[in-house]
Each structure stands twice: as C-alpha cells, then as structure tokens.
Amino acid sequence: MTEKNKILIGGIIDKPGSSKDYKTGSWRSQVPVWDKKKCIQCLVCVNYCPENCIPLKEDKRVETDFDYCKGCGICAQVCPVKAIIMKEGK
C-alpha cells in the first residue's frame, strides 16, 4: 500500500476542530421544515440535533443552518408539538 492510498483506522480524528470543514448539508435528501408559529421554544430539537446545526439567538432557536443539516429527521421526531416536518428535497 502506498502512502497516498493508506486508509486511516476507523474513528481516528487526525486533526482537532475540523468538523466545520465538512459541510454535512450535502448529504441531505430530506429537509426539515420548521413552523415558527407552532414552535413553543422548548429547545428539545436543539439538544438532540447530532450536527448541532439548530442555532440559538437570544435563547431562542432560529432557522436551521442548512450548510450542516444532514436531514436525519431527529428534530422532527423529538419535537413535542410537531413544529418540524420532513420534506423530500435539499
């Protein structure tokens, strides 16, 4: 195996603080649609989002950061008032 095609052992983080470099939004096949009017600002979605891409502004959630939202649908699953629905698309 040459140095160029050497495969790192799974799970190794070879550079700290690199997650911002990987825009996981390109993985998305479904998009979370947030209904601001239904939202009760419980922040459950913020805590469950594995990409940490639901930002807060003055202690309230704001629109998803779609550069990093991978469309997993966890936010929609955990929202107690169904203020997020998943739709097909980017």
85 is a contact residue toward ligand SF4 (CB under 6 A): no
Question: Binding residue for ligand SF4 (CB under 6 A) from 61, 62, 85, 89?
Answer: 61
CB of 52 to ligand SF4, least distance (A): 8
The span from the CA of 69 to the CA of 13, in Å, is 21
User: 54 or 88, CB closer to ligand SF4?
Assistant: 54
Q: Residue 23 in contact with residue 69, Cβ under 8 Å?
A: no
Token readout for 45 is: 């979605």
User: 22 or 40, CB closer to ligand SF4?
Assistant: 40
Q: Residue 47 in contact with residue 9, Cβ under 8 Å?
A: no
